[in-house]
Amino acid sequence: MVKDPGAALRTHRLRPLAGPQPLRVETDAHGCPRAIAIEGVVRKVTSAQDRWRIDDEWWRETPVSRMYYQLQLEGDRVVTVYHDLPGGAWWLQRY
Amino acid sequence: MRLACITVPNFRIALERRRAPALAGRPVAIGEPPPGANQVIDCSPEASALGVRAGMPLRDARTIVPDLVLLPPDPVYYGRSADALLDAIEGAEPYVEPGDPGTAFAAIDPHADGAAQADAAARLVCSVRDGSGVEASAGVGGSKFIAWIAATVSAPGEAIVVPTGREQEFVAPLSTSFLPVSYEAHHKFALYSLQTIDDIAALPIGPLQAQFGAEGRRIWSLARGIDTCPFRPRDRATQVSGTMQMPAPTVNSGALIIAARQLSGRLLQQPAMRYRQVRQVRLRLVLLDSGSWERTLTLREPLSDEAGIVFVLKKLLEPLQLAGPVEEMTLEFLGLASETGKQRSLLFAEQARRRAQLLAALRQLKTRFGGESQVARVVEVEPWSRIPERRYALIDYDL
């Protein structure tokens, strides 16, 4: 017999996969990332391998406008981050 | 039998005005813009007075009344409000039959005198006002037609009682436009200068049948205040429903089909669905920035298997063109019937047994952790999206 957990029922949903995670980023004078804090450790950016911009859903109240960077960090780790242009926050994007 | 009819004139307009009181006194119409029917569904008395009619193309309505307030239909809101209206009436009288949207019939005490019947009708009007916030009018008569016509001619918030035996006298001076008959019949009334119901009552049944065919007999009966249409109280059968929020508003039919599949699977596992089959499904979509979409499908044969139900929903969703992205989906199973025997496959018995075991284990896990499924699988939602987190989603592994 399974014990009743007494938890409230919820409406069903599809859960988005690979959602972005908030990130602390130190930028240079041009607004490009110089160092980022991942898992509590600040890592310097050794090079920006790529940079692209996405503008979508401009017809909505909260349009999507992101500047993406593919960065190589010290230790040769490569990550993709983006700068949310309307909100100003930085996010780590996983694929 | 004595029946009370409760009707809210221009029900959908009344609901829109309840939601936006600033619309009061303005010419308002509800119409489905392209890619929908592109015609007026309902309009306010102010718009009617200026020449707008239901069924008119939206472009014509805008041309006739340039300052017409044109609203997109919200069938989910209307459906829920109609249910609330029926519930409010049912709170006062137990036997209720739904009519057109915003109209319902209730059986009242047949032994009560005229004053008591008027009181009963007034109570129903008050119940509707308190329960659903709209002003209705009421009529009492010996049949649905008489009760409806009395409710239609009475002022909002008031009730008219038609005494037994005086039905023909009551309807005689009214316009033939009150008769609930076909458009062709109304067209012929105009051609033959039959302006009042009394003009029709004066005619013998033979010529009416000769001119109007099978409908002639009904016209003849109604003109004499005779309506043989039976009263059928609504059946409060069990309904099984579920709602799903989309991860992001979407117009993608693939994502909608995934959501529909997930909901069907969940609903079929509910205890109410044990040994039951589905005869009707109702799909409601809530769109972004208000607005909604709703369809009710009657299945060719009762189904209890997910694949069959999903097949029907897929056929509905694939060609769908909506006015906006979908935020939420609700699926309802209606008209549940007893399950009849079905021949199962002998070849896949082992596979079915394992699947049943897996389902039982998943159900136990889910109950243990408060309805949150512990096993999920990845599905493609919008694999072409430029926004990475929109491409894939996790759905509960219930299937």
Q: Are residues B244 and B350 in the same domain?
A: yes
For residue B289, tell me if it sits in a domain: yes
Q: Are residues B277 and B388 in the same domain?
A: yes
Residue B165 near residue B244 (C-beta atoms within 8 A): no
pLDDT of residue B330: 92
For residue A62, tell me if it sits in a domain: yes
- The distance of A72 to chain B (nearest Cα, Å) reads 20
For residue B351, tell me if it sits in a domain: yes
For residue A1, tell me if it sits in a domain: no
Which amino acid is it at B168? Q
CA distance B104 to B308: 34
Burial A67-77 (b: 16+ CB within 10 A, else e): bbbebebeeee
Look at A17 and B255 and tell me if their CB atoms are within 8 Å: no
Tally of CB atoms within 10 A around B215: 16
ipTM surpasses 0.90? no
Question: Tens digits of per-residue pLDDT, B245-260?
Answer: 888 888 888 888 989 9
Cis omega (within 30 of 0) on the bond before B35?
A: yes
The parent domain of residue B250 ranges over: 240-396
Chain B contacts of A64, Cβ < 8 Å?
387
Pairing of strands B137-141, B159-161: parallel
- The distance of B323 to chain A (nearest Cα, Å) reads 14
Look at B396 and A12 and tell me if their CB atoms are within 8 Å: yes
For residue B232, tell me if it sits in a domain: no
- The distance of A58 to chain B (nearest Cα, Å) reads 13
Q: Which residue of A has its CA nearest to B331?
A: A12
Per-residue three-class SS string for chain B:
CEEEEEECCCHHHHHHHHHCHHHCCCCEEEECCCCCCCEEEEECHHHHHCCCCCCCEHHHHHHHCCCCEEECCCHHHHHHHHHHHHHHHHHHCCCEEECCCCEEEEEECCCCCHHHHHHHHHHHHHHHHHHHCCCCEEEEECCHHHHHHHHHHCCCCCEEECCCCCHHHHHCCCEHHHCCCCHHHHHHHHHCCCCEHHHHHCCCHHHHHHHHCHHHHHHHHHHCCCCCCCCCCCCCCCCEEEEEEEEEEECCHHHHHHHHHHHHHHHHCCHHHCCEEEEEEEEEEEECCCCEEEEEEEEEEEECCHHHHHHHHHHHHCCCCCCCCEEEEEEEEECCEECCCCCCCCCCHHHHHHHHHHHHHHHHHHHHCCCCCCCEEEEECCCCCCCHHHCEEEEECCC
Question: Tens digits of per-residue pLDDT, B279-306?
Answer: 889 999 988 876 888 888 888 888 888 8
C-alpha B267 chain-centroid distance: 21
Residue B47 near residue B88 (C-beta atoms within 8 A): no
Residues of A with CB under 8 A from a CB of B: 2-20, 54, 56, 60, 64, 93-95
A66 pLDDT band, cuts 50/70/90, is: very high
Number of structural domains in chain A: 1
A8 pLDDT band, cuts 50/70/90, is: very low
For residue A14, tell me if it sits in a domain: no
Q: Which residue has the tokens 């450790």?
A: A41
Question: Tens digits of per-residue pLDDT, A35-55?
Answer: 999 888 899 999 999 999 999
For residue B231, tell me if it sits in a domain: no
Residue that is last in its domain, among B112, B139, B162 = B162
B370 to chain A, any CB pair closer than 8 A? The answer is yes
The parent domain of residue A67 ranges over: 21-93
For residue B234, tell me if it sits in a domain: no
Chain B contacts of A54, Cβ < 8 Å?
386-387
For residue A16, tell me if it sits in a domain: no
Pairing of strands A64-73, A78-84: antiparallel
Q: Are residues B197 and B158 in the same domain?
A: no
Task: Return the percentage of chain B with pLDDT > 70, whole number.
Answer: 95
Q: What is the mean pLDDT of chain A?
A: 84
Give the domain CATH number at B128. 3.40.1170.60
- The distance of B388 to chain A (nearest Cα, Å) reads 7
Q: Are residues B111 and B33 in the same domain?
A: yes
For residue B230, tell me if it sits in a domain: no
Question: Tens digits of per-residue pLDDT, B16-74?
Answer: 998 888 988 899 999 877 766 788 888 898 998 888 887 888 888 889 899 999 888 88
B392 to chain A, any CB pair closer than 8 A? The answer is yes
Enumerate residue ranges in chain B where pLDDT < 50: 399
For residue A7, tell me if it sits in a domain: no
Residue B193 near residue B175 (C-beta atoms within 8 A): no
Q: Which residue has the tokens 């949207």?
A: B101
For residue B374, tell me if it sits in a domain: yes
Whether A84 shows a pLDDT value over 90: the answer reads: yes
CA distance B32 to B154: 31
For residue A12, tell me if it sits in a domain: no
Query: What is each CA distance from B131 to B14, B105, B126, B200, in whole angstroms?
Result: 14, 16, 8, 40
For residue B115, tell me if it sits in a domain: yes
Number of structural domains in chain B: 3
* HSE toward the beta carbon, residue B129, CA cutoff 13 A: 13
B67 to chain A, any CB pair closer than 8 A? The answer is no
A9 pLDDT band, cuts 50/70/90, is: very low
Which amino acid is it at B186? H
DSSP character for B196?
A: B
B240 to chain A, any CB pair closer than 8 A? The answer is no
Chain B contacts of A82, Cβ < 8 Å?
none
Q: Are residues B246 and B386 in the same domain?
A: yes
Q: Are residues B329 and B357 in the same domain?
A: yes
Give the domain CATH number at B185. 1.10.150
Residue B74's Cβ-count burial label (10 Å; 0-12, 13-18, 19+) is buried
Pairing of strands B28-31, B40-43: antiparallel
A7 pLDDT band, cuts 50/70/90, is: very low
Q: Are residues B270 and B210 in the same domain?
A: no
Write the residue in A4, A6, A12 that is nearest to B262 by C-beta. Answer: A12
pTM of structure: 0.60
Q: Which residue has the tokens 């129903």?
A: B124
Q: Are residues B296 and B377 in the same domain?
A: yes
DSSP character for B66?
A: T
Q: Which residue has the tokens 């009619």?
A: B53
For residue A36, tell me if it sits in a domain: yes
B395 to chain A, any CB pair closer than 8 A? The answer is yes
Give mean pLDDT, residues A21-28: 91
Residue B274's Cβ-count burial label (10 Å; 0-12, 13-18, 19+) is exposed
Query: What is each CA distance from A63 to A59, B249, B387, in whole angstroms?
Result: 7, 13, 12
Q: Which residue has the tokens 């006194």?
A: B25
What is chain B's alpha carbon radius of gyration, rounded to the nearest angstrom?
Answer: 25
Burial B235-254 (b: 16+ CB within 10 A, else e): eeeeebebbbbbbbbbbbbe
C-alpha distance across the termini of chain B, in Å: 51
B245 to chain A, any CB pair closer than 8 A? The answer is yes
Q: Which residue of B has its CA nearest to A52?
A: B386
Look at B364 and A5 and tell me if their CB atoms are within 8 Å: no
- The distance of A7 to chain B (nearest Cα, Å) reads 5
Residue B330 near residue B241 (C-beta atoms within 8 A): yes
**Phi (first) and psi of residue B333, to 5 degrees:** -100, 125
